[in-house]
Amino acid sequence: MRALHWLLIFTLLASVAGLPGPATAQGFVGSLVVTPDRGPVGTRATLTGKGLPPNATLDVLWQTVEAEWLQEPPLFKGIGVRESEHRIATVTTAADGSFTTPLKIPQEYGGLHDIYLMQSTRVLNKAGFRTLPVVTMLPASGPVGTPIRITLTGFNPAHQLETWYFVMYDNKLVGYITALRTNGTARVTIPATGDPGLHVVEVFNGGVGGPYRNPESSPLRAIQGLEPVFRFTFKLTEGTGVIPPNIEAQWAKPVRGEEPMLASPVIWSDIRSGPVGAPAVLRGKGFAAGEKVDLLFYNMKGNRLSSTGFAGYVEELGAVAAGADGRFEWRYTVPDHLGGDHRIAARVRGEEVAATTLAVDRTALPLARREYRVGEEILVHLKGIGWTETDNIVSIVYDNSWIGYACGFNTDGDVVIRVRATGAAGWHYIDIYPTLYRYRNYSQTMELPFLFRYPMLSWQDHPQPFVYRYAFKIVK
């Protein structure tokens, strides 16, 4: 049993209203109680029923949701949520119509869940369990650069106050965390930064665009009061700094392409995606022997701010002749253009006869050097930044403090970010995260999600996931 439509979350009213469960019969039978009725994922609970049909085998259904980012490239359309149920237990009542069974709360989305007791398709009764958000942090100490791992469970995509949380490091905003694509669980890593001693890490909820610091004054305090603030301390110790791998090692691994089974003219690349400059081979088959094949690359140019807007265009990659067997191979490198999906087409005698898709990955280049003095300029160079509303922008974090964002559409995916070196002598860190550019009319503050430009620390949850981490030393 599953709703067939997507529920778009636009307003607070819609998100608070909740999602309906299975169609219920008129009137419940007996009683159904879950104890306890709230707790984190993994909670051991007990479900007890009384006054039910005797000697009956019944199903216990857990009502939850499925969620994802909604996209119609190049547009970003927010969050889509639909209801879903699955069986978590089967019970048999005694002669007096009672039963008791243990339940383990599933590791999935948080929020309020209905628990339905079903006899075939009939709802006999229901209970409710609220899966609470929980945050853990490990380790508790280490030298500068130590990866601090933050794990969050019980995120609720159907409620705007539980869909994202903000991370603060020593009262500085690092970024936010979501868990739509990861079924309510997010895993985030940030580097330990600062001087030796204690540092404070806090995780706040925030409905519309930032950590909400006084929920007791909110008109929604009855709801927000359910959302705790998670606080931890990290002891930064003396010792050798921990640095991330070289930036090339952080590139996404190319995804291999496969030869199509079709015998008619087809083309394919030996990689379907890869970083800018990666070597690749475009292959074709099914062409006439000796036939000249022009290879075309489709791209976009322009921006969303000027009156001229943007439009697609085509450039020639090269030309190749098919062999006696109707096949060809053409070696190339992933073009230095906008990131994201691109059409590559084969043209014969002025007509396109075959096409394939190549994805250009975001590609971070190494820093010019590893050591800087305070005030010197650090150039962070990125290629393959995209043009859609989810991948035309990146967000920058310096020593666990958000310092802004950068866009790459207008410069064909090529971005240079200028950062001034600041801080004490020693290791410092720059992290590049994905983020969101826009959603409808974001001047309306209650439109959701209102998370534009902030770093998505749970980068795996982004529609085009990536993260790049730099380390450098400040010297005197």
- Domains observed in the chain: 7-131 (2.60.40.10), 134-236 (2.60.40.1930), 255-361 (2.60.40.1930), 363-474 (2.60.40.1930)
pLDDT of residue 266: 97
pLDDT of residue 33: 97
What are the residues whose beta carbons fall under 8 Å from the beta carbon of 189, sequence distance 6 or more? 147, 148, 149, 150
pLDDT of residue 73: 87
Pick from 428, 458, 456, 276: which is nearest to 367 by CA?
Answer: 428
**DSSP, res 19:** -
**DSSP, res 245:** P
pLDDT of residue 163: 78
pLDDT of residue 233: 98
Count CB atoms within 10 A of the CB of residue 298.
17
Pick from 111, 97, 23: which is nearest to 65 by CA?
Answer: 111
- Whether omega for the bond prior to residue 102 falls within 30 degrees of 0, making it cis, is no
Would you call 437 exposed, middle or buried from its count of C-beta atoms within 10 A (0-12, 13-18, 19+)?
buried
pTM value is 0.89
**DSSP, res 195:** S
Mean pLDDT by 10 residues, the chain (476 residues): 35 34 65 96 97 97 93 88 94 98 96 95 95 96 98 88 88 94 96 98 79 72 65 97 97 94 91 96 96 97 89 96 97 97 97 97 97 98 96 97 96 98 97 88 59 92 96 96
Where would I find the beta strands (DSSP E) of 154-259?
Answer: 165-169, 172-177, 186-191, 197-205, 230-236, 255-256
Distance CA 164, CA 207 (A): 8
What's the length of the chain? 476
Which backbone phi and psi does 222 adopt, to 5 degrees?
A: -65, -30
**DSSP, res 370:** S
Structure tokens that stand for 414 in this block? 């090529």
